[in-house]
Each structure stands twice: as C-alpha cells, then as structure tokens.
Amino acid sequence: MDKVLLIVLALLLPPVAVLLKEGVGKQLLINIVLCLLFLFPGIVHALWVTTK
C-alpha cells in the first residue's frame, strides 16, 4: 500500500514523493529542477525513483 501512495504522490506532487522515498539529496534536487523546467519530466523522474 505504501508503494501505491508514493506512485499517486509522484503523479500529483513529484518532489514530495521523491522526498519521502529518498530524503533530501541529489535526487530531490534533480526532481525540483525537472519540475521547474516542465512538469512531465519531473513526474517521469519521480515515478522512476519511487519504483526502483
């Protein structure tokens, strides 16, 4: 159930999902930059981080 919640968060709020999965670090910074550029790459990155 926890993984399902992370996937839903990755679709709605990608940086929050990465923060909950990885904590503060390089992956969170990458995701924030991707979300600022365009939302779709940030979602894809968050899905990748949460499902790996």
Tell me which DSSP letter residue 24 carries: S
Other CB atoms within a 10 A radius of the CB of residue 44 amount to 14
Q: Which domain holds residue 8?
A: 2-51
Number of domains in the chain: 1
pLDDT of residue 47: 92
* Helix segments in the chain, DSSP class H: 2-12, 14-22, 26-37, 39-51
pLDDT of residue 3: 87
Record the tokens describing residue 41, joined without a space.
Answer: 């790459």
- Give Cβ neighbours of residue 5 (< 8 Å, ≥ 6 apart): none
Condensed to tens digits (0 to 9), the pLDDT of residues 1-52 reads 688 999 999 999 999 999 999 899 999 999 999 999 998 999 999 999 999 8
Q: How many residues does the chain have?
A: 52
